[in-house]
Amino acid sequence: MRNRPAKVNKIRVKRGKLEKREAMMGVLFCVPWIIGAAVFLVYPIFTSLYYSLAGVTVDSVNGIMATPLNQIQWNNLQEKYVQVISHDQNFLPALLDYLVSTLVSVPVIVVFSMIIAMMLNQKIRGKGFFRMIFFLPVIIVSGPLLSLLSESSANTLSVVDTQTITGAIGSFLPPALATPVTSLFTNMVTILWYSGVPILIFISALQKIDTSQYEAAYVDGASAWEMFWKITLPALKPMILLNCVYTIVFISSNDQNSIIGLIKQAMISGTDEKGYDYAAAMAWIYAIVEVLLVGIFALIFMTRRDKYEKQGKKIDRQMRRERRKVLHIQRRQARHAKRYHRPTVR
Amino acid sequence: MAYRGRHINPQRFERGQIKILLILLPLALFMALPIVFIINHAFKPMEELFAFPPSFFVRNPTADNFTKLLKFSRSAGIPLTRYLFNSLLVTLLTVALSLLLTTCASFAFSKIKFRGRNLMLQINQIAIMFVATAVLIPRYMVIANIGMIDSVFAHVLPLVAMPVALFLVKQFVDQVPDSLIEAAHLDGANDFQVYWRIVLPIIKPAIATAMVLVFQQVWTNMETSNYFINDESRKTLTFYMNTLVNASNGVAGQGVSAAATLIMFIPNLILFIICQRSVMNTMATSGIK
């Protein structure tokens, strides 16, 4: 009777040999990447979290050192964060600015690249050439090139008179709303340049759509407009979220970003109040805001889970519940048997 | 969609294309402007560089800026070729390694089931969001502890695991149909063969895209030279160009910086032109509907 509970445990589905071997292969394939990421990404990121909470001490022998565990002021962990949020005059406005401008420009970039992608998927002359041109910004946007261009103000629309547009917008919108919109117009070129990779991703999704679907819709008398809403858009939907995330990340980690400049400044300033811990706290706040931004877009564009998948999960849950119940009953029986010393019948 | 190979251009010109061309052409011009600008900017003589409003095209092209750049580099102790060699070595190593690791990992993450897969993907997601500059000091400590300061690997290893590249490539591997992989397994291929013979050829466009992006990152990276390398002769060309620009600050610096920007930009353009063909093919030829 003693070994009864052990037997019960075996009800849990054990992974088979084949599955185990497959999992091993999976791990094997990612091990190099995992090691690289763990040493040079994950570990530094979490160390920076520790620094931002515990603070760093700078001494002339060891250079920068984290405060050792026994000297941490446990009740004052959030000190740096409070400093960043409430005492820094530059950080919070910059963050707010970034938040608003990203919220405005991401939909513009995604919609623009979707339109361009659909055009580039039509039958037109010189399609290859156009695709190349529209992918070209990828090599401009990242790197020091962009700073040179913005220095010489080549990234503002000098062809179109932006002043009149911004003036017109400012006249009928409240200023709080008008600023992001007008900045959108002045930075139009930069926004267009960000759309290289999104266009590419959209094109690849468009090519996945079966042309016979369009033919069938055409035979049934659907207009191009209807086809767009019923066929093209649903097929593109997962890519929309992907592109939103990509664009947000791209904008946020760009060298042109003012917040990154602030972080860099704080890091090398080396004063008492602003040091590496301060910069780390800034970076963490920034990362959290970024995650929130991505979350907002994910909430809007999340594809609904498949009905079957949902049902499968439900059944799974039910089975687990039943299994637990069985386990519970078995255990109770074992307990009773022990308590009342009933002779076991073999 | 039938296999059309590389012939993505239609053979005939149709009237229906005109309206689309009308929209695309100006935008395409717009997109190409910065490159024209960079090339023009490098050949501008001094008075045109400071002209206001800044002119777009050069009127009297001179190679003055380049000769100035050469003069500066000759006065330095270490020859330019040394920096060039460093840069090429570092970039080649990093791009090759990181593409290999990224494709391997994304294949495993998207097509093989194993425990902890989702957790790792989430960690990757967080790493994407995190500012790279903020991890500089912990990174420095890691490198110092391993004893890699001043070695080539100090340039290479920090950039090898690039979360954005994994994010991008994985999306493409996700689109590789499972049935193709199953078929390969039935025919007796092991996982490595599936990766090498099936997944890699299919995701070629993604690899080309990632290559352009990773190359960008590595080629223009100055942080590794700045912080992880003390030996002057082991720093990269980007760093050197930057010091040149800074050293010749002021009025003369503008011309030098314009020339340096063009020189740094040309490899980008060359790689782009090489890669663009396979990038543009996108995933049209996945083999299965």
Strands A56-59 and A63-66: antiparallel
Q: Are residues A173 and A290 in the same domain?
A: no
Based on the fold, state whether residues A171 and A59 are members of the same structural domain.
no
Residue among A199, A188, A190, A291 nearest A245 (CA): A291
Once rounded to an integer, what is the mean pLDDT over residues A66-73? Answer: 66
Q: How far is CA A225 from CA A112, A116, A193, A230, A237, in A?
A: 17, 16, 28, 9, 17
Instruction: Tell which wins on pLDDT, B99 or A100.
Output: B99
Q: How confident is the model at residue B99 (pLDDT cuts 50, 70, 90)?
A: very high
Taking contacts as CB-CB distances below 8 angstroms, the residues of chain A near B41 are 148, 152
Q: How many domains does chain A have?
A: 3
Q: What is the DSSP letter of B198?
A: I
Among A74-78, A113-117, A313-317, B105-109, name the one with the lowest average pLDDT: A74-78
Question: For residue B167, which residues of chain A lie inside 8 Å, CB to CB?
Answer: 245-246, 249
Q: Which of A29, A115, A158, A248 to probe the B interface (max B CBs under 10 A)?
A: A29
Name the amino acid, one letter, at B183.
A
- A50: tokens are 């520790």
pLDDT > 90: what percent of chain B? 5
Min distance A242 CA to chain B CA atoms (Å)? 8
Q: Last residue of some domain: A77, A93, A112? A: A77
| Chain B residues close to A80, C-beta within 8 Å | none
Cβ proximity of B252 and B68 under 8 Å: yes
Closest CB to A153 among B35, B54, B217: B54
Question: Could you tell me if A166 and A258 lie in one domain?
Answer: no
Please name the residue ranges forming H helices in A138-187.
Answer: 138-141, 144-151, 162-172, 175-186
Burial B83-112 (b: 16+ CB within 10 A, else e): beebbeebbebbbebbbebbbbbbbbbbbb
pLDDT at A1 over 80: no
Question: Nearest Cβ partner of A145 from B38, B158, B175?
Answer: B38
Please judge whether B108 and A267 are an interchain contact, meaning their C-beta atoms are less than 8 angstroms apart. no
Model confidence at A138, pLDDT cuts 50, 70, 90, reads confident
A338 to chain B, closest Cα gap in Å: 38
Find, among B249, B286, B260, B280, the residue nearest to B70 by Cα: B260
User: In angstroms, rounded to a whole number, what is the distance separating the alpha carbons of residues B82 and B96?
Assistant: 21
Specify if A44 maps to a domain: yes
In this predicted structure, the answer to whether residue A18 has a pLDDT above a threshold of 80 is no
Q: Please state whether B37 falls in left (phi above 0), alpha (psi between -120 and 50) or beta.
A: alpha
Per the model's pLDDT, the better-predicted residue between A320 and A147 turns out to be A320
Secondary structure of chain B: what % helix, strand, coil (to 5)? Answer: 75, 0, 25
Do A153 and A24 share a structural domain? no
The answer to whether A259 touches A289, Cβ cutoff 8 Å, is: no
pLDDT tens readout for residues B102-142: 999 999 888 888 877 888 888 887 788 777 777 777 888 88
Residue A123 lies in a domain: yes
Confidence band, pLDDT 50/70/90 cuts, at residue B96: very high
Say whether both A132 and A244 belong to one domain: yes
DSSP string, A234-295: HHHHHHHHHHHHHHHHHHHT-TT-HHHHHHHHHHHH--SSSSHHHHHHHHHHHHHHHHHHHH
Dihedral of CA atoms B153, B159, B161, B162 in degrees, nearest 10, equals -170
In DSSP terms, A59 is beta-bridged to: A63
Rounded CA gap, A152 and B41, in Å?
10
Q: What is the crossing angle of helices A276-301 and A91-120, to 10°?
A: 40
Nearest to B157 by CA among A48, A33, A250: A33
Contact between residue A80 and residue A281 where contact means Cβ atoms under 8 Å apart: yes
Q: Is A125 on the interface with B (CB under 8 A)?
A: yes
Asked if A247 and A123 sit in the same domain, the reply is yes
Contact criterion met (CB < 8 Å) for B131 and A24? no
Q: Is B136 on the interface with A (CB under 8 A)?
A: yes
| Any domain includes A327 | no
Three-state DSSP state, A59: strand
Q: Which of A227, A290, A209, A241 is nearest to A110 (CA)?
A: A241
* A267 found inside a domain: yes
Residue A108 structure tokens: 């513009």
Which residues form the domain of A159?
A: 147-193
Q: Are residues A252 and A293 in the same domain?
A: yes
pLDDT in tens, A155-213: 544 545 555 666 666 666 666 666 666 666 666 777 777 888 888 888 888 887 888 88
Alpha carbon distance B48, B57 (integer Å): 10
Size of interface A-B (CB pairs under 8 A): 257
* Structural domain spans, chain B: 80-280
Place of tokens 């610096």: B253
The pLDDT, as a whole number, for residue B285 is 46
Predicted TM-score (pTM) of this structure: 0.77
Q: Which CATH superfamily is domain B80-280 in?
A: MetI-like (1.10.3720.10)
Residues of chain B in contact with residue A27, where contact means CB-CB under 8 angstroms, are 108, 114
* Cα–Cα dist A141/B31, whole Å: 11
Rounded Cα distance, A117 and A122, in Å? 9
Q: What is the ipTM of this complex?
A: 0.78
Which of A61-70, A77-86, A258-267 reaches the highest mean pLDDT?
Answer: A258-267
Residue A94's pLDDT band (boundaries 50, 70, 90)? confident
- Asked if B254 and B267 count as a contact pair (C-beta separation under 8 A), the reply is no
- Please tell me whether residues A167 and A266 are part of one structural domain: no
Q: How far is A332 from chain B (nearest CA, A)?
A: 32
Taking the alpha carbons at both ends of chain A, their separation in whole angstroms is 10
How many CA atoms lie within 13 Å of A62's alpha carbon, on the beta-carbon side? 10
End-to-end CA distance of chain B: 7
Contacts of B104 in chain A (CB under 8 A): 29-30, 32-33
Please name the member of A136, A142, A200 whose beta carbon is closest to the beta carbon of B35: A136
Encoded amino acid at A172, one letter: F
Query: Which of A303, A318, A334 lies at the terminal end of a domain, its last residue?
Result: A303
Is A42 in CB contact (< 8 Å) with chain B? yes
Q: Do A152 and B41 touch (CB under 8 A)?
A: yes
Q: Does A130 touch chain B (CB under 8 A)?
A: yes
A90: Cα within 13 Å, side-chain hemisphere: 10
Residue A89 belongs to a domain: yes
- For B56-64, which contacts have Cβ atoms below 8 Å and span 24 or more sequence positions? B56/A154, B64/B255
Q: Domain check: are A94 and A217 in the same one? A: yes
Rounded mean pLDDT, A273-289: 80
Question: Which chain A residues are closer than 8 Å to B91 by Cβ?
Answer: none
- Among B131, B202, B243, most A C-beta atoms within 10 A, so best to mutate, is B131
Q: Indicate yes or no: CB of A44 within 8 angstroms of CB of B34.
A: no
pLDDT tens across B196-249, in order? 888 888 888 888 888 888 888 888 887 788 788 888 788 888 888 777 777 666
Residues of chain B numbered 231-270 and touching chain A (CB < 8 Å): 242, 257-258, 261, 264-265, 268-269
